[in-house]
Structure 1
Amino acid sequence: MLRALALRPPWPYVGEVVRSLLGILLSVLVALELGSAAGAIAAGLSGAIAGAVALQDSRRGRLPLIVSASAGMALAAFVGQLTAVHPALYGVTVVLWCLVTGMVWAISANAGLVAASSSILLVTVPAADAGPREALTAALLALLGGLSQAVLVAAWPRQRWRGQRRVLTDAYGWLATGARRLAVDPDSILDPTPLIELRETATLTEHQARRRPPAHRGLYGLPERIAMTLNALRPHTDTPHLRAVLLATGDALQAISGSDSDTARTDAELALQHLTDASAALRGNVAAVVGRLREQVTEAVAVHFGDSDLLSATQAARTTIAAQWYGNSPILRHAVRLAGAVGAGTLIMAVAGVQNAYWIAVTVLLVLRPETAHTYTRCVARVAGTATGVVAASAVAAFLHPGPAVAAMLAVVFVAVAYAVVGLSYVPLAVALAAALTCLIDVSGAVDATTVSQRLVAIIVGGGLAVASHVILPDRSLVRLRQRAGELLKAEIDYAATVIRAFVHPLGHADETLAAVWERANRARSAFEATSGSARADAPEVRRWLMAYRAALNAVTGACATLEDQAHTAQPHTLDPRFVVAVDDYVDALRGEAPRPGRPWSLDARHLAEADQQLRDAATLLGKQDTAQRVLLAETETITRHLLTVADLARR
């Protein structure tokens, strides 16, 4: 359920959302039929999490992710029920579990939300008189609730974007032919015009392109970057070993275009090995270009075939988590805050002996995030949203006294509302999630006015613990400053990307759109300056970094202001499509990947430099009438230069 926080609005996938909701309802009804109220809660919550995971776009298959999430939820239900009869052991288990789940945020926001949901299951399902049999029953029902989503995904698969995949494989086949031709004919040129069909097919709408994760959004840009790099090798075709590089590149790209073959992946990996061996013998400028080509072809193979090695993925996740075990890590501090606050809530629950006291721990899990920006404001807002959702759902249950099946249906309705509002704000989302969780819990018994008041008091206490944990263990000032710097960089780049796109695509409601992105950038700048004013900048290197960072971003802002003044004079309909492609690739390179928890946002300097060079090469496609676009070229050169400076500062 919490997993929905990381999803974009699902309206293009209405059928999949309905499939997910159907799986939740069936899981709860089956568990109720078996006579297990705790199992119904476990099955419903596990089904909701697995259903949200099923909506995730991922290079790795969805089924392994669903199975992994289901197994984690089942383990939480089993451990919670098994240890509930021993309060001291149960308290220690909850603290350790929350410490581990807090560290999972290092992998990604999605993984962190799934882990937080398992913690909610750990604190809501247990009963004081439960035994091994009840624990096993709850675990099996939680596992079946999650796996039901896997069955529905297999029976009701997502509609494939077949047209995009077909054009994509055709593009790689065209590139393979071009690379082989270049190996024998140095005078040949790869004209990227045929790749324009790929962009037009793969992009669909700007909204849908933004919904896709970076691995999918960049599918149409990667072949164009490979074509650009191959053209950059034309002056060096007489270099020894370069012919072997080009032939190996052609073999790898041909394997991608023939991915229906059983041996395609093996052929691609063998060609990559040949490419690596041939490039090792090169030196000088050509070695740098070939290195870029090798990285691009490797990326194309990885994106196209995906990463199906779960063992490697697990090892990479453990390495990522282990890298956060140091004192200043915001992820480690979040994990300690989470474990401490939930542990305190569990202790209060044991001492108070009130039936609904588990809402203290649930509230902490709902509102705490590894955030460094507007921490207290967001905590309080989530607490208010949680209280509103719980009170509203509890009040409805207290007055209407719905049966278990009706309560389950109400929970599903609120999950649907959560999907509908996920892109609006975290406050209405908190309301919907809390209401759904309340209805799901209420399948186990009657609700009266006393229950409502108990839950409200527990939420207030849980919210107080969440805020207090940030007061007691805040993030380091310099860590917060780096985080604010990353947020400011992302906001400035979003502003720049919006302005730049206006030169090649008509911008609907241009004034309102530009004003909105500028306002976000302005708020991010205010937060950065407030943090830099409160942080200790005694060290000379910190002061120098602040001065250089401000100067670079001020230059980017100035260039964007110049572009905004010229944007209304642009005439996109007169442009060569190849120039539009180059600008779109530049915008994609600017936007980069989504921010990751606990890490300052940064841009991909290599991709940006490549896209900038491609944009320079496309300048020859402009006509005399394209004066606004010539201003664009001059200002994007300034933006690139200063953003590369910012990227260099971030590595220090």
Structure 2
Amino acid sequence: MSWLRALRETARSGLAVERRRLAPVVAARGALGLALVVGFSLAVFGPAVAASSAFGAFQAAIATFQRSWRPRPTLALASGASLAVSTFLGYLTGTHTVLFLALLILWTFLSGLAWAAGPTAGIIASSNVAIMLVTVTLPTSVATAAGHAVMIFAGGVVQAALVVLLPVRPWGAQRDALADALAAEADYARRLRHDPVAPFDPVPLMTARSAAAVTPRQARRRPAELHGPRRLAERIRPVLASLADPAVGAPAEGPQRDRVRELLAAAAEVLDAAARAIRHGAPVRLPPAAVAALRTPDTGTILSERSHRAALRLAALLGDVVETAEPRTETGDGPADPSAPRARPTLPRLLPLLVARMRAEARPGSAVLRHALRVSAVTAAGYLLGLVLPFGHGYWAPMTSVMVMRPDFSQTYSRSVARFGGTLVGVGLASAVVQTAHPGTYLSAGLAVLCAFGMYLLMRMGYAVSQVCVAAYVVFLLGMEGSGVTQTVRERVLLTLLGGLLAMLSYAVYPAWETPRLRGRLADWLTATGRYAAAVAARYADPAGPGSPDVREALLSARAARVAWQDALARATHEPVRHRGLPHAAAEGAGHAIAEFGRAAMLLEAHLPEHGAPPLPAAAGLAEALGEATERGAKAVRERKAPAWDDLCATVTAWETEVTDPLLRKAARLLLAALDDLSAALTDA
């Protein structure tokens, strides 16, 4: 993609307005917390302290909107505490330009590395640096600065208390994640009726798994219906695939296929009913026609033996889903489900893990490290330029840079455009109000709270929309204290434009392109999927039942590698660089081939022998051959060669002479055919 086209695409993305479901009650709760903090601070301490405490409450409320599975009060407290520390340290060095610049570079570098822990930590850390640039200009002494820091933390405490006292749909994010996973399974079942080899996106299941991890405190309070359906949904997926695939199940046409379509439609309706019940915490209402279809007694006379077993297993799993999705009252301190919940570390225990992740990214070639270096250099340059330029309040430039910069190209450029456009509108409107109406302290505070409410309400609709409200909020808040009133719209907009241009220029000078890494991501996915296929095959040589932990871990690793490949491919699509040996058509074909390879392994997983079943010695050789072949194939992919599968082909040929089960023979051929397709896709790449 050329630079011109990349700039056009990122600009369009940044200025796009999305239609999203709004959450006015949650937005009102955040605005209420802000209003309480500002009102109390104004009445007791005055406008300067009110401005600091308002930033703390404002940022704490934003933290509660982040896509995180941690309790909202914890996020608010963490945001308020970290911002208070940042602001106080910033003021201690604020009168010494060199010391403050050194602190700014260090703090910004650490905020860049915080992206190693995920977007929530990265956003909170970046916001702390941005707000610190504003709040350090408000205090007048060390004691006053300490008081400002305390009030900033108090703003976080107020927001956390409101989340506890005024709960809005508790466990709603976890309910939505689990319901989305079940709904994705239902959609998959419907698509299999018309396309027996339809692909399945594992992201909803991965999101639900992430949402299922809880702290010990959360585990004692989690609703019972959120415990078990996720694992059942993951076990249903291979059963649906094996029931629909004509290679190992019912023929493509005829009475068996008609019955399979009927069963898939019924499964979709049952899964949708369970998803609705979990999303709203209501009883499960099953469609009578779907229940009747699953219980049809003549299914065994129509379907073949293996398809009939899959149908029976599907009905049993759906029954378990319905049972676990019913709202129940827990007794005692532990969860109703006997299985132990996935553990999520508490914040004190998370700090060593965060430090370890940040240290792991401090290596050459790390995109996160490059981001940390870029953002710290750009912020320092913006701060120095703000001091030199005759505009006053030069923090608008570095504040813009640190807020728009992200580890990848497309987000940095789209947010830069959105920030400039939103600031242009927001600052223009707010400054016009200030210059014409001359609102007093309390009216400015009220307008700031109103802008904050608009930001909370519209932040999911697009970055440009939210920035209109944020820019106006800053103008009214500083106008309440009397700071920055003399700065014109032109000066604020020019400083914002400067910050955005510095951010965009830094990525062009010191990029972290994803395009050259595509082959490595593809090789990682092939390796992980090969280990999954090998783990499944090994279980036929040593039967351990459907719930084999090694198969489960291999599957999760393969899913993570697949999502990493998809994310990398999506980012590379908008980068203004050449394909570096993996053109778009080859990437698409190779991705499809590895997905088919994983689906063939999943068909084998759907029929894993029960614990204690007679072993199949030949499966051990197939498992070893799969692991070795995919390792060599991944090496060839990295070296820009088309992988060869001669040894695996010989193993599959021997497998077909030793194994009599038609399913196992067909599945082995599907595995080899998928790898051949991979080689064909990469031959001319």
What TM-score results when the alignment is normalised by the length of structure 2? 0.55
- Partner Cα distance (1:366, 1:117) in 2: 7
Match in the other structure for 1:221: none
Give yes or no for the alignment of 1:433 onto 2:433: no
> Are 1:401 and 1:446, in contact at CA under 8 Å, matched by a contact in 2?
no
Q: Where in structure 2 are the equivalents of 1:199-278 lying within 5 Å?
A: 200-203=273-276, 260-263=331-334
Give yes or no for the alignment of 1:552 onto 2:590: yes
Work out which of the residue numbers 34, 48, 58 in structure 1 matches 2:58: 48
Q: CA deviation at 1:78?
A: 1.0
Work out which of the residue numbers 121, 144, 156 in structure 2 matches 1:134: 144
Change (3 A) 1:398 1:474: same
> Are 2:410 and 2:574, in contact at CA under 8 Å, matched by a contact in 1?
no
Give yes or no for the alignment of 1:385 onto 2:422: yes
Work out which of the residue numbers 429, 432, 452 in structure 2 matches 1:395: 432
Work out which of the residue numbers 65, 68, 75 in structure 2 matches 1:65: 75
> Are 1:43 and 1:145, in contact at CA under 8 Å, matched by a contact in 2?
yes
Which stretch shifts more, 54-63 or 429-438? Answer: 54-63
Change (3 A) 1:309 1:160: closer
Q: Secondary structure of 2:27's partner?
A: helix
Q: CA deviation at 1:11?
A: 4.9
- Partner Cα distance (2:486, 2:676) in 1: 58
Q: Where in structure 2 are the equivalents of 1:284-299 lying within 5 Å?
A: none
- Partner Cα distance (1:614, 1:471) in 2: 48
Give yes or no for the alignment of 1:20 onto 2:57: no
- Partner Cα distance (1:390, 1:375) in 2: 21
Change (3 A) 1:23 1:531: closer
Q: CA deviation at 1:462?
A: 1.6
Superposed CA deviations along residues 249-285 of structure 1, whole A, max 9, x for unmatched, are xxxx9xx9996422559x96xxxxxxxxxxxxxxxxx
Match in the other structure for 2:460: 423
Q: Where in structure 2 are the equivalents of 1:353-364 lying within 5 Å?
A: 354-364=391-401
Change (3 A) 1:76 1:167: closer
Change (3 A) 1:196 1:323: farther
Work out which of the residue numbers 147, 155, 158 in structure 1 matches 2:157: 147
Match in the other structure for 2:386: 349
Q: Which amino acid aligns with 2:588?
A: R
Work out which of the residue numbers 366, 378, 381 in structure 2 matches 1:329: 366
Superposed CA deviations along residues 82-127 of structure 1, whole A, max 9, x for unmatched, are 2212221111111111111111112121221111111122100123
Q: CA deviation at 1:77?
A: 1.7
Match in the other structure for 1:74: 84
Q: CA deviation at 1:201?
A: 4.1
- Partner Cα distance (1:473, 1:33) in 2: 49
Change (3 A) 1:427 1:373: same
Q: Which amino acid aligns with 2:59?
A: I
Q: CA deviation at 1:394?
A: 1.9
Work out which of the residue numbers 451, 467, 491 in structure 1 matches 2:488: 451
Superposed CA deviations along residues 436-479 of structure 1, whole A, max 9, x for unmatched, are 23222222116656432321222222222222222321124645
> Are 1:76 and 1:122, in contact at CA under 8 Å, matched by a contact in 2?
yes
Q: Secondary structure of 1:534's partner?
A: coil
Change (3 A) 1:323 1:423: same
Match in the other structure for 2:578: 534
Give yes or no for the alignment of 1:309 onto 2:346: yes
- Partner Cα distance (2:228, 2:485) in 1: 64
- Partner Cα distance (2:43, 2:111) in 1: 32
Q: Which amino acid aligns with 1:106?
A: A
> Are 1:356 and 1:454, in contact at CA under 8 Å, matched by a contact in 2?
no
What TM-score results when the alignment is normalised by the length of structure 1? 0.57
Aligned residues: 445
Give yes or no for the alignment of 1:471 onto 2:508: yes
When the two chains are superposed, the root-mean-square deviation of aligned CA atoms in Å is 5.0
Q: Which amino acid aligns with 1:262?
A: D
Superposed CA deviations along residues 117-159 of structure 1, whole A, max 9, x for unmatched, are 1112210012387321111011011000110011111211233
Larger radius of gyration: 2
> Are 1:484 and 1:531, in contact at CA under 8 Å, matched by a contact in 2?
no
Q: CA deviation at 1:339?
A: 0.9
> Are 2:88 and 2:145, in contact at CA under 8 Å, matched by a contact in 1?
yes
Q: Secondary structure of 1:454's partner?
A: helix
> Are 2:397 and 2:498, in contact at CA under 8 Å, matched by a contact in 1?
yes
Q: Secondary structure of 1:323's partner?
A: helix
Match in the other structure for 2:133: 123
- Partner Cα distance (1:472, 1:351) in 2: 23
- Partner Cα distance (1:455, 1:409) in 2: 22
Give yes or no for the alignment of 1:407 onto 2:444: yes
> Are 2:426 and 2:472, in contact at CA under 8 Å, matched by a contact in 1?
yes
Q: CA deviation at 1:362?
A: 1.4
